[in-house]
Structure 1
Amino acid sequence: MDKKDLILGKNALREAFAAEIRIQKIFISETLDKEDMKELLKLAHQHKVPILKVAKQKLDRLSRSNHQGVIGLNSAIPFYQSQNLVDNILFHGKNPALCVCDGITDVRNFGAIARSAEIFGLHGIVIPQKDSAPVNSESIKASSGALLSLPVCREKNLVHSIKQFKKMGLSILCASEKAEKNIRDLDLNKSIAIVLGSEGTGVSREVLNEADELAKIPQIGSIASLNVSVAAGIFFYEWMLQNQNELNERK
């Protein structure tokens, strides 16, 4: 993590909020007195910035400077409200196409997924506030700058957001090795959210329960699975092939 992405101490964080600096999340030591943090917690709640309680040793690893038990992570980009983004796309007569990252914490994988999403024409990427790779200089570099132009939506409750997408007419497609259908066999020419899970556990059970369809990538070799960013590129490419008419109108 780049040190310039960090905001150290309570006073610095208060000043950052006052200056309207974008903050992605705040780490606080488990040993801090909650009463001492009352003002900062209120500011974080007002600005919808997640608070993560961690061991003091983790804060020490992030920075050797005096952090007072509190470290904020700078947000390198503005975050969008997913429902507003979808509404805007629908208003312009387009079928929204979103990538939803469920538990993808590796910065390089996240950056590569964003890069593919931008290249193949998706409208945005949705991540949870917790259990997600940070949007920082490292992930922006891994995305080759795609995260600077592709709208990113950060949601407190991913399942709730997916339910809202369904109400707005989006079909929820989850990538799963256990799926019976191949991605090539599905109709992707519609409003859609493509959900990708972590390499370790895949899409979470709660999100799978909201899926309209599951799909896998056909394979010939014996290796169990593809890297999630590679799989994402294949899913997005197939979506692009089925939506050429709309994509041609953007050019």
Structure 2
Amino acid sequence: MPNRRTPREDQGRDGSRSDEAPRFERSRADDGRNDEQFGEPRRRDEEPRPEGRRDENRREEGRWSEGGSREEGRRPASSSSSDKPRYPHRPPQDRSIDMIFGLRPILEALSAGRTLDKIFLLRATKNSMTQDINALAREASVPVSMVPVEKLDNITRKNHQGAVAFVSPIDYMPLDNILAGLYEEGKTPLLLVLDRITDVRNFGSIARNAECLGVHAIVVPSHGAAQINGDALKTSAGALNLIPVCREHNLKQTLTFLRESGVQVVACTEKSDASLEAETVDLTGPLAILMGSEEDGISPEYLRLADHKLRIPMAGQISSLNVSVASGIMLYEVLRQRLGAVKE
């Protein structure tokens, strides 16, 4: 009499019947669903381990160690949830930017005179070191922001200890030294002042326009300006390595200083009645072109300090230009007038 297998003997090692296992696996593969959808919720650390003999395929792929346990750092390809990155909410670090972590390294960098672009400190942190960092950063016109820990975690995966600083790829220059040097050399100063230009690529394009059209220096505020990083350098086509950039703590005082130094401040704004093509303003003398953001334009307090306001004429239905394009048009008109004055 033939031996009959009991239902328990017909079950496979995973508890399912052997004649149903292939159909179950096929339907799972066809539907593309995971274990949770089949009523088998499974934690990442509770994956089935081979009992008795090891699965040769898994062994060849290096998914299991000799003791039958998962090797550290390995993730099974069959689990869709384990394919996600370990830190899905954190962006990859930009390799073109040099960063400093920790209060002591940042303090030492400031003391050594290293050019920092921005400093982020953990909010509600108050000690002697943070006070020294704030004092030195204020002297160097380096913006300091007090931020929550989530902001620091999003910036870097490193153990930041509540302090992160970006090292600038360029060295900022003092405006008064540049202006005095231009006058001593007998040159007619041409400066470009940017108010709240925060887009990195726009800033890079503006720097490229400025270098090509003869600007001697770009003036930016210490707060509310685009970060000069690898993207800015690339977009500028290397112009930021050639043209000086001046970072000023108070742009209002800077504009007043320029006017007192004999520099005419001309603001480019669509709110002006005077048009650029009318040539109502002489742009051949010492000049500072003031450009504002695309969203809000130039701040009213800065507009009041401008000697002249000019708008760029337009014939289309769109009433505004990209700020990098607008800066190129303004600077071209300056160069055109100056070249015409030299020929005369």
Structure-2-length-normalised TM-score: 0.68
Aligned residue type for 1:210 = L
- Pairing 1:1-251 to 2, within 5 Å after superposition: 2-3=94-95, 4-184=97-277, 185=279, 186-244=281-339
Give 1:36 deviation, angstroms. Answer: 4.9
- Looking at structure 2, the residues matched to 144 and 238 of structure 1 have their Cα atoms a distance apart, in angstroms, of 22
C-alpha contact (below 8 Å) 1:98/1:124 kept by paired residues: yes
Shift of 1:19: 4.4
- Deviation of residue 217 (structure 1)? 0.8
What are the Cα deviations for residues 142-172 of structure 1, in whole angstroms up to 9, with x where unaligned? Answer: 1111011101100000010000000001111
Structure of higher RCO (CA pairs closer than 8 Å, 6+ residues apart): 1
Counterparts of 2:128 and 2:105, CA distance in 1 = 18
Structure 1 residue runs without a partner (length 5+): none
The superposition leaves residues 38-71 of structure 1 with CA deviations (integer Å, 9 ceiling, x where unpaired) of: 2323332444423222232222211121111111
Between 87-96 and 47-56, report the one with greater CA deviation.
Answer: 47-56
> Runs ≥4 in structure 1, deviation > 6 angstroms?
245-248
What's the offset of the Cα at 1:197? 0.3
Q: Matches of 1:140 and 1:213 in 2, distance apart?
A: 31
Structure 2: stretches of 5+ with no match in the other structure: 1-92
Higher strand share: 1
Partner SS, residue 38 of structure 1: helix
The one-character-per-residue Cα deviations of 1:81-117 (angstroms, maximum 9, x if unpaired) are 1121111111112211100000000000011001000
Q: Is the 8 A contact 1:2 1:138 kept in 2?
A: no
Report the 3-state secondary structure (helix = DSSP H, G, I; strand = E; otherwise coil) of the residue aligned with 1:238.
helix
Instruction: Decide whether aligned partners of structure 1 residues 153 and 36 sit closer, same or farther in structure 2, where only a CA change above 3 A counts.
Output: closer
The answer (yes or no) to whether the contact 2:195–2:298 under 8 Å persists in 1 is yes
Count of residues in Structure 1 that have an aligned counterpart in Structure 2: 248
Worse overlay, 85-94 or 156-165: 85-94
RMSD after superposition: 1.9
Classify 1:47/1:176 alpha carbon distance in 2 versus 1 (closer, same or farther; 3 Å): closer
> What is the alpha-carbon distance in structure 1 between the residues aligned to residue 291 and residue 149 of structure 2?
32
